[in-house]
Structure 1
Amino acid sequence: MSEVPSAPASIGVLTSGGDASGMNAAVRAVVLTAAFHGIEVYAVHEGYRGLVAGGDLIRRVQRGDVDGILQRGGTAIGTARSDKFRTREGRRTAARNMVERGIDALVVIGGDGSLAGANVFRHEWTGLLAELVEAGEISAHAAQRHPFLRLSGVVGTIDNDMSGTDMTIGTDTALHRIVDALDALQSTAASHQRTFVVEVMGRNCGYLALMSSLATAASWVFIPEQPPTGDWQKQMCADIRAGRAIGRRHSVVVVSEGARDRDGNPITSDGVRTLLEDELGEDVRITVLGHVQRGGPPSAFDRYLATLFGHHAVERLLADEPQAPAQVVGLQGNRVVCAPLVECVQRTQAVADRVKSQDYEGAMRLRSSSFRESCRILQTFQQHAARPVPSDRQFRVGIIHGGGPAPGMNTAVRAAVRLGLDRGWAVMAVNNGFRGLRDGDVQEMSWMDVSGWVSEGGADIGTNRFLPDAAALAEIAEQVAAHRIDALLMAGGWAGYRAAHELHRHRQQHPALDIPMVCMPITINNDVPATELSIGSDTALNSIVADVDKIRRSAVATRRVFIIEVRGHDCGYLAHVSGLATGAERIYLPEEGITLRDLTTDVYDLAESFRAGKRVGVVVSCEGTDRIYTSDFITSLFQKEGGDVFDAREEVLGHTQDGGGPSPFDRIQATTMTARSIEFLAEQLESGGRAAAMIGFQSGQLLFTDLTRYPDLVHEDVQRPVHQHWMQYRGLAGVMRD
């Protein structure tokens, strides 16, 4: 037998199972990454059915063939079930079709069933080829050239039910669809004092139902992993009545399609409606969201995630030995990782088996810690008021913003107020940031003061970039003492972190400032230390992506390059991620700067692309990239040098990135991060501690970093942290150029 090739001859890519927004981005990433390495790619249309049918359903694809699919929902290469592929005869035919085209590696994008089927195919590969040789359908030489089937799995399913990854492609987009629908229903339900029962997808996983409920303040939720206990019918009706009594004008009950009671009986939207109408005597309406959850353009996160996954899937095929076990590409701790496909499928199916056997505690143990924590937090928020908590001392905790406004600030205040009140604390909102604290502009908040804030953009208690000087610090200390504030939660950005650090740094000089503090990252720029992600940046990214999509469509009939300027100050996070999520040809970052050589190379490369047929070009630049080569300068240069090949236009997106309601991701993370911050403050208050910390995502965990380390974690001369996790994916921009 000849030597085994060190790299695949050709790679096939297919999408299988239910469609999920972001699959196109993954296909595009596979094609562009393989092309970057000089490897041929074949798109298998209609999933496994196309693999068996062969012919024109298995087509060679070039870089230009995936231009324009990034922003499209569904899957451009189609998906279909195949009974034939479930048989050995069907898989033998599929193997012949692949060998005839020189394909000996597959990237399969789909759910656990699709990936399990691919793994069976991989294990049978050698035997299938032997049978084909014996039958005279392929030559012995062809079989020797392709002795192994390399396989990478990419999880694409809206249910987020696959083990081995924190998020699956399509889940975030589905959450956007659900949350948008629930937000719309909240307003019409409030107008009529009405209850809505909303059914969402999820199979045996309650992720979509749970997280959409957390993001929209739903009154009740039913999920497969945690059936309601006791006489839940009476409890649900009593809770909704209690909500009406304190002024709530509407109620929304979310039902996951796989929900069951403790005896395994299905809980249906029809059943819940009948119960509520009979017990409450009011009009109840049902909304079944159905397949609308699957459709539409993918969110910014799904485009970025799918791009990372597709790229990594190909790189894994190139790096592994051909006989190495198949891997699933996933996200763990905000990092792209690989895990053995067989183990991931087995653990995924184990959860479904636990639910089916009514071992609900076992099913919950197999879910992530964040899933379990979200269940616990939601139970507190669904209360109509704080629980009576006996306490020897009622602590007084302040919530304050600092820095520019960002989506998620109101969500965080709502969470802090309700979680604090539920502990028996007095929660004090500081209006107008640290300037307001200096002036004593402080108000005590009640449970219903923050009703509806979960979905509100902006910062209702106000924020600014005020940095207290020595005189202001003395006045702030007086106000902290006067209002008897025992602890402080600062939810904001760069200026807020600096201000909080100043308070903590002067605690010896002003004893009133020697109190527990937590800094929580809420800024669209993602430029504060001790965290890999900041609340607000996801909303900004979705705003940028939506605007760039419109700009691209507006230029279909022209030959034009758009220079898109996005926010970020000295941090290029928004530019980098939005550039990858929109298929930008070039991305300029403050971390790298711009040289005249860069601009010269880029303008001539773009001209060549337009001569080859390109119709629209996008260049994304961060606002602080270069003080000389500004967006206006670049536009003028490209306009001049583009000549009669293309023209250029500048678009400064500006403050549109700050506004709007927070995305589902930002709502959920603002809530869970606030909950963890409240726990930290509770530990300090109850033990007599006075620690100050910064909370943030680090390797996928919410961790606390001592606030005294703040100066060591940021640059002295620019507004960004020393370590930026996202920069490790910077090289991907060059690979992903259409």
Structure 2
Amino acid sequence: MSEVHRRPASIGVLTSGGDAPGMNAAVRAVICTAVHHGIDVYAIHEGYRGLLTGGPLIQRMEPEDTDTILHRGGTTLGTARSQEFRTRDGRRSAARNMVDRGIDALVVIGGDGSLTGADIFRQEWPDLLAELVDSGDISADAAGAHPVLRLVGLVGSIDNDMSGTDMTIGADTALHRIVEAMDALRSTASSHQRTFVVEVMGRQCGYLALMASLATAANWLLIPEQPPAEDWAMQMCRDIKAGRDIGRRQSVVLVAEGAHDTHGNPITADHIKTMLEQELGEDTRITILGHVQRGGAPSAFDRYLATLLGHAAVERLLTDGVDTTPQLIGLRGNRVVTTPLMDCVAQTQAVAERIKAKDYDGAMLLRGGSFRQSYKILQTIQQAAARPTPAGRHRFRLAIVHGGGPSPGMNNAVRAFVRLGLDRGYTVLAVQNGFRGLRDGDIQEMGWMDVSGWVSDGGAEIGTNRFVPSGEAIAQTAEQIAAHRIDGLVMAGGWAGYQAAHELHRHRGQYRSLDIPIVCMPMTINNDVPGTELSIGSDTALNSIVADVDKIRQSAVATRRVFVVEVMGRDCGYLALLSGLSSGAERIYLPEEGITLDSLTADIHTLAEGFRTGKRLGLIIRSEHADAVYTTGFLTSLFEKEGGDLFDARQAILGHIQEGGDPSPFDRIHATSLTARCIEFLAEQLESGGRASAMLGFQSGRLQFTDLTSYPTLIDPHAQRPLEQRWMDRRGLAEIMRR
């Protein structure tokens, strides 16, 4: 092997800076991937302090050492500030400890400060080794065997403030904590007609505050990137009063910890409280969430994201040459991307510099299009009422309907549809009871406050079902669309909803009233519709599954047990694969692959060997339609019989609890943002005289529209799933992570 492409001798992994939920999943992925490739891997405890202290703080790891860390919050490796590592002597000690163990590649999981320190260490590496040779601390041969230090960085930070990645490890979990707290506060605020001022973390980044506002219907928001106008205090009071005047029983003002006015003066929760009490006489309370935002078990997304990035980090180290620029591993859309590490650090710091220089437009620009679009949407939906309709604008009549099974986030979609549509001056209609209600004319015009309080509710207030119109029902539906003068239709739903929308689209030549633009928005926990890699509702379902599996894990460990957990998904294995990756399942059975007797035999032997060597838990995830013969009950009986004295087996069929519960922050936010895109699509068609219909979805890392006419060519004719399922690319990763 050439020197340029020589593999690392050993890999070290450390966590540094503030702790973030998901760090443990990233460490686990690094260890499992390195061992899979036959490379020694060392866990470095207590951050950079452990690196320069050495001894027991640097430990060689095996995959079995990570069995109990995936679901734990914080970082089991520990993190600590090290002033000594900032010195040349400290870094030289760290280099000696690494060379003694053959470590010449590092995966650093931390924030911009930790990653900057790692890059300085990397640059100094050859000189540090030369100094160690001169002092006799290491041999020239040892230095020659490790001429360079390879480096990759993963961002572990709840603030989501790093350039080069859409999401940082820990941000989604922090958002969960904030949203859970704010949902609880809204109920008590409503009971007493109070105003709550809630302060959230984020340093100089308003991501957590902005997204929490979208997910919880906060009434006022203050973030560092967009300071309020000079008269902000009086405007806030006017807006809060306007909400009270239309019947709102509670108000929430959300302030990021780094918020300030246009002159750079901090805006504190105490200041806001004082203004509301003095100007409005409001009964106001302050809640500072503090470090609870960092704590607790990581969300399903953070476990998955950290696993994905940890695996990619090792793969990058294996392919990098000795001269390669250190990279940051991140996520753009649904794709893993690599970006020069220090470029990301520089752009991250540039945002803070823009804010300090009062260049707020520049700061918003650097935060990215998604951040700016979310802020714009929030400004509309948090108003007390729609803006006056401009003179001469045609009042189009838009309707929204659900189709398919219930999906968390449906109410958010209707809420956003009503308020964003009304703000454009349109008449907005909600179809009750799905396409059956559209056939029967069960259609209601909606007002601004009709959807108040819907932001946090699961289920579907306007109803949904799996009815697909055909024959006479098509003609009846066409009559109702004509009778209610519907100009455009949003279908927010799943498989049956897509079928129904396509049926209407297909008959537009036969019925004039059906010649309207229709846009389908993916909302199904199964993630089984075409034109998208991700459906609204699936994140909530994944979190529900992972939370239940965490409880199952505790039960199983106590009794040396194998659990066979059945999850939903019909003919699509998305929930099974992603929940298996996020919960550390040993085996995942998917409908795309089926189950064979040979694979079952191998799995039984693997489990038995594991329990003989000290294993205490076996976790099997089975998708509900994985195999018609090898059912969950059959598998459980088989494992129970073959486990003998080594282990027993139990089944857990999670059932429809996966469809229930309040939607996750991700599903709330994306239901709102996708609905905004759907309304933009309909507006463009109607205002230009167009009649195109489409399916909206996440594709190749961004939102795209696909012509609804192509629907039949994009689905599997033999199963309820799309032909292309890019998430199946993660199947190999699941095999590496299993033990």
Question: In structure 1, what is the equivalent of residue 454 of structure 2?
Answer: 453
Distance (Å, rounded) in 1 between the aligned partners of 2:716 and 2:709: 15
Question: In structure 1, what is the equivalent of residue 230 of structure 2?
Answer: 230
Give the TM-score, by structure 2 length.
Answer: 0.99
Question: In structure 2, what is the equivalent of residue 607 of structure 1?
Answer: 608
Counterpart secondary structure, 2:558 = coil
Does the Cα contact within 8 Å between 1:4 and 1:147 map onto a contact in 2?
no
Counterpart secondary structure, 2:629 = coil
Q: After TM superposition, give the deviation of residue 622 of structure 1 in Å.
A: 0.5
Question: In structure 2, what is the equivalent of residue 354 of structure 1?
Answer: 354
Instruction: Write out per-residue CA displacement over residues 21-44 of structure 1, whole angstroms, 9 at most, x where no aligned residue.
Output: 000000000111111111111111
Identity of aligned residues (%): 72
Q: After TM superposition, give the deviation of residue 141 of structure 1 in Å.
A: 0.7
Counterpart secondary structure, 1:43 = strand
Residue identity opposite 2:494 in structure 1? G
Question: In structure 1, what is the equivalent of residue 250 of structure 2?
Answer: 250
Distance (Å, rounded) in 1 between the aligned partners of 2:382 and 2:231: 17
Q: After TM superposition, give the deviation of residue 76 of structure 1 in Å.
A: 0.2
Question: In structure 2, what is the equivalent of residue 496 of structure 1?
Answer: 497
- The 5 A counterparts of 1:134-173 are 134-173=134-173
Q: After TM superposition, give the deviation of residue 185 of structure 1 in Å.
A: 0.4
Counterpart secondary structure, 2:338 = strand
Q: After TM superposition, give the deviation of residue 323 of structure 1 in Å.
A: 2.4
Distance (Å, rounded) in 2 between the aligned partners of 1:437 and 1:601: 52
Runs of 4+ aligned structure 1 residues displaced above 6 Å come to none
Q: After TM superposition, give the deviation of residue 346 of structure 1 in Å.
A: 0.6
- The 5 A counterparts of 1:462-481 are 462-481=463-482
Does the Cα contact within 8 Å between 1:175 and 1:212 map onto a contact in 2?
yes
Question: In structure 2, what is the equivalent of residue 174 of structure 1?
Answer: 174
Instruction: Write out per-residue CA displacement over residues 662-695 of structure 1, whole angstroms, 9 at most, x where no aligned residue.
Output: 0000000000000010011111111111111000
Q: After TM superposition, give the deviation of residue 708 of structure 1 in Å.
A: 0.1
Does the Cα contact within 8 Å between 1:200 and 1:288 map onto a contact in 2?
yes
Residue identity opposite 2:290 in structure 1? G
Residue identity opposite 2:606 in structure 1? D
Question: In structure 2, what is the equivalent of residue 665 of structure 1?
Answer: 666
Distance (Å, rounded) in 1 between the aligned partners of 2:657 and 2:669: 22
Question: In structure 2, what is the equivalent of residue 332 of structure 1?
Answer: 332
Counterpart secondary structure, 1:574 = helix
Distance (Å, rounded) in 2 between the aligned partners of 1:362 and 1:337: 24
Question: In structure 2, what is the equivalent of residue 559 of structure 1?
Answer: 560
**Structure 2 unaligned regions, length at least 5:** none
Distance (Å, rounded) in 2 between the aligned partners of 1:679 and 1:570: 33
Distance (Å, rounded) in 2 between the aligned partners of 1:544 and 1:94: 42
Residue identity opposite 1:666 in structure 2? D
Counterpart secondary structure, 1:89 = helix
Distance (Å, rounded) in 2 between the aligned partners of 1:17 and 1:359: 28
Counterpart secondary structure, 1:488 = strand
Instruction: Write out per-residue CA displacement over residues 179-234 of structure 1, whole angstroms, 9 at most, x where no aligned residue.
Output: 00000000000011101111101011100000000000001011110001131111
Question: In structure 2, what is the equivalent of residue 637 of structure 1?
Answer: 638
Deviates more, 1:272-281 or 1:658-667: 272-281
Structure 1 residues 73 and 392, CA gap change in structure 2 (3 angstroms): closer
Residue identity opposite 1:575 in structure 2? A
Distance (Å, rounded) in 2 between the aligned partners of 1:27 and 1:241: 50
**Structure 1 unaligned regions, length at least 5:** none
Question: In structure 1, what is the equivalent of residue 691 of structure 2?
Answer: 690
Distance (Å, rounded) in 2 between the aligned partners of 1:654 and 1:133: 63
Question: In structure 2, what is the equivalent of residue 593 of structure 1?
Answer: 594
Does the Cα contact within 8 Å between 2:47 and 2:80 map onto a contact in 1?
yes
Question: In structure 2, what is the equivalent of residue 189 of structure 1?
Answer: 189
Structure 1 residues 392 and 311, CA gap change in structure 2 (3 angstroms): closer
Question: In structure 2, what is the equivalent of residue 278 of structure 1?
Answer: 278
- The 5 A counterparts of 1:13-28 are 13-28=13-28
Distance (Å, rounded) in 1 between the aligned partners of 2:270 and 2:222: 13
Does the Cα contact within 8 Å between 1:4 and 1:145 map onto a contact in 2?
no
Q: After TM superposition, give the deviation of residue 333 of structure 1 in Å.
A: 2.0
Q: Does 1:46 align with 2:46?
A: yes
Does the Cα contact within 8 Å between 2:4 and 2:321 map onto a contact in 1?
no
Does the Cα contact within 8 Å between 2:178 and 2:212 map onto a contact in 1?
yes
Instruction: Write out per-residue CA displacement over residues 33-87 of structure 1, whole angstroms, 9 at most, x where no aligned residue.
Output: 1111111111110000111111111111122111110000000000011111111
Q: How large is the RMSD of aligned CA atoms in angstroms?
A: 0.9
Q: After TM superposition, give the deviation of residue 392 of structure 1 in Å.
A: 4.3
Counterpart secondary structure, 1:575 = helix
- The 5 A counterparts of 1:41-440 are 41-390=41-390, 391-440=392-441
Residue identity opposite 1:321 in structure 2? G
Does the Cα contact within 8 Å between 2:325 and 2:340 map onto a contact in 1?
yes
Does the Cα contact within 8 Å between 2:5 and 2:320 map onto a contact in 1?
no
Instruction: Write out per-residue CA displacement over residues 476-495 of structure 1, whole angstroms, 9 at most, x where no aligned residue.
Output: 00000001111100000000
Distance (Å, rounded) in 2 between the aligned partners of 1:3 and 1:406: 54
Question: In structure 2, what is the equivalent of residue 8 of structure 1?
Answer: 8
Counterpart secondary structure, 1:263 = coil
Give the length in aligned residue pairs: 737
Counterpart secondary structure, 1:499 = helix
Does the Cα contact within 8 Å between 1:201 and 1:256 map onto a contact in 2?
yes
Distance (Å, rounded) in 1 between the aligned partners of 2:214 and 2:478: 36
Distance (Å, rounded) in 1 between the aligned partners of 2:532 and 2:205: 29
Distance (Å, rounded) in 2 between the aligned partners of 1:31 and 1:604: 24
Distance (Å, rounded) in 2 between the aligned partners of 1:368 and 1:634: 48
